[in-house]
Structure 1
Amino acid sequence: MADTGLIEAGASAASAATALENLQVEASCSVCLEYLKEPVIIECGHNFCRACITRWWEELERDFPCPVCRKTSRYRSLRPNRQLGNMVEIAKQLQAVKRKTRDESLCPQHHEALNLFCCEDQEPVCLVCEISHAHRAHTIVPLDDAAQEYKEKLQKCLEPLEQKLQEITQCKSSEEKKPGELKRRVETRRQQIAGEFEELHRRLEEEQQLLLSRLEEEEQDILQRLRENAAQLGEQRRDLARLAAEIEGKCLQSGFEMLKDVKSTLEKCEKVKTMEVTSVSIELEKNFSSFPRQYFALRKILKQLMARCDPGPDLPDTPRRFTFYPCVLATEGFTSGRHYWEVEVGDKTHWAVGVCQDSVSRKGELTPLPETGYWRVRLWNGDKYAATTSPFTPLCIKVKPKRVGVFLDYEAGTLSFYNVTDRSHIYTFTDTFTEKLWPLFYPGIRAGRKNAAPLTIRPPTDWE
């Protein structure tokens, strides 16, 4: 049976070699006997290099004969044969592969056929290598026997690899859904916080603002970790897919091709076993564990303190009044032109300045973003600056501004902020303004009088 297999393999190889030779003949020019260059077809159906047939007919004015069949045509008709041109390139590539395979199947040291396999070094060797000092004490087996054994080993590697690939695919799919779920959970938590504080809004506003800021930071932190983890899972998935494709390809290769770097492939498979697949938690426990106890203790105390300091000056709840955030608008709005103003922020630890559209909602909890008609730059926690885009754009400010300049170019659709303290640019919004814009000032929470100072509009600085 082994002899029969060898005979069949030899016959198959000979048949492949004959087919390649036939392809090379068909891809050659009958005039120059080289591979066709810019092949063209003439009326009789034969193909030649454009340059060769042009030279052949160079001195003829009519009755152009075919160099192969001698059939003449009245016109010099040369039609490009692009399909044959592609076949010529394939023939060249096959010839190069055949030459490379023939060279690689020989021992680079002894130039003998690599028909054996060293089990210790896991590499093909020749007859001279077998009796050399380097392999004398090693186990040497026929290449075909080793190929069968390692093919089985590689196939066994595929199952855990595919399981791990499926695990990562499922985990990545789950992780991709988490930002939406996180957003829903954050919104639910935000509504809970707002609801709890509604009754005690005047007395607990500072605590509410702190909690919302922390929640916002935690959301950004979790989203960042989700993005990083999704990228890592994607990279792991691509690595495993490439390894699986590599192994499947090797299982289809000849024994020599499969075994010449099988050691590296097996090492990659071993590394897969220790690959960690991580999942990011989106639980929102941080900074809130002690909140309910503190809140209900305050609520119990405040029920006994219902006296109001001055019930007289209640402000009317008009549509233009902000009822949740302590924001103030300028007395003048703008629908065109260029305008510049400066705001004294001093040593405040929490503030926001910018503009808003005339039609923005001013009731209840706000989402002050460009999409809702707000363009602002803000400071919170004393040292964190951001442009309130979606998501926030962190700002790197080297010198803490004592005064902030705001420049509005209505027609150009730009709103720029400047640090007047060191005369540096902070940030520029670019948008299309379609409504009246009002300068907006948010003095922030007082935080135990640390942020009690007001925002003050000042005359513009002379920058000359």
Structure 2
Amino acid sequence: MASATVIKKLMEDITCPICLEPLTEPVSIDCEHIYCRVCIVGLIENQNSETSSLGTFHCPQCRKPFKSDSLRPNKKLATIIETFKEMDQNMCDEHGEKLALFCESDGQLICWHCEKTPRHKGHLTALVEDACRRYRKQLQEVVTKLEQREFKYMRQKLGTTRQKSILEEKIKHEKERIHLEFMNLHTFLHQEEETYMCQLEKEKEQKLSRLQNKVAHLDNKLQELRNRILELQQKNQGSAQYFLQDINDTLRRNSAIDRETPEAVSLEVHTVCNVSELYFSVGKILKRYQDNVTLDPDTATPDLCLSKDQRTVTNNVGTKKYQNPGGFFVLPCILGCERFISRRHYFEVDVREGTEWGVGVCLENVPRDIDTGREPQSGFWAIRLRRNKRNLAFTSPPTAIPLADQPKVVGIMLDCEAGLVSFYNATTGSHIFTFPKTSFSQALRPYFEAYPFSPLSLTSLNE
């Protein structure tokens, strides 16, 4: 217990009177009292703000005055304090003796007296040196494993960095390729336009020249006619002898002019450009994003029947079968198995045998047990061909889609990032309709409405 008393006395001597903690950077003032540097400087700043007598302050213990510039670092005491702290860390707080043992059960340092207390009775203990040696070995094994893992991660990081460079290079080349293809497409279309414009201009010049020649020819004929009419009028007004002279030749010569027929110039334009045929590049681009979509039987209305390959759906009205819990109850609808959440996706639907159908995409959780509106606000982006051949886009209100030719195969393009759903005539590549830009809150699935006598078939990638 004597050692504990000594420790207690030392703790009092190295405790700062202001913060009541062991001294940190101890400094002395004129009266030889010692404080932490931070504590006494804080006291000086506080007193300096409260009194007008600048430069002189009072010791918190003896109240003797001292100057702010009289603070002197006590390096010797600082060294003693550090040594004491190291000693204190190795001394038992309760018994004041050296912590010579390590309790394996509690994982803490104890002294010989602690080992005999009920708190550590029956616990596995070892000398600090032995415990250190054993745990150092275990720690070194852990360090070795961590170093091996560090080396592995460093290699992975190096490989990942290399992959980043490779990816950036690939993306760069892909951007260059796409840019070049679009430049080629733009150049091709521009050249085609220029060619047709030139052909039309040439045809116009040729036909205008012929028409102008015809006008000049008619002018000559008119002048000739006027001259003959004048000649005949003069002859008719002459004497009988003058009138009958060469009368037969005059009649024969003037009647021949009536049989002349001017050359006919056709106004039909022979330079025709079928712009839809130029869309082959658009179709090629769309094909790059085509997915092998199949139909999900679990989402079908009871009247719908699927082919074995799940790519064709027919509506056999009146042959209701078991209602799937996840299927549509009212609308003659079915969804595709695929779920789209990112990137671009394209699929084609053969509708040539149908007189009424609907195709598009919809959100994963659209209502299936009620006849809900099929506009984007309800999670649908679809178009429909009715029996009266009136094409509609399910906007709010619906948008009529006038088409010169009904599509035989409809292409649906979904751009998740851009928030666009577009429809194309897959046969000609011409654009049908694009919904206004939006953002999709969840996964989208292909959507189909199959009506009686209007089967729908999904085309495969190689068709």
Question: What TM-score do the two structures reach when normalised by structure 1?
Answer: 0.30
Q: Which is greater in Rg?
A: 2
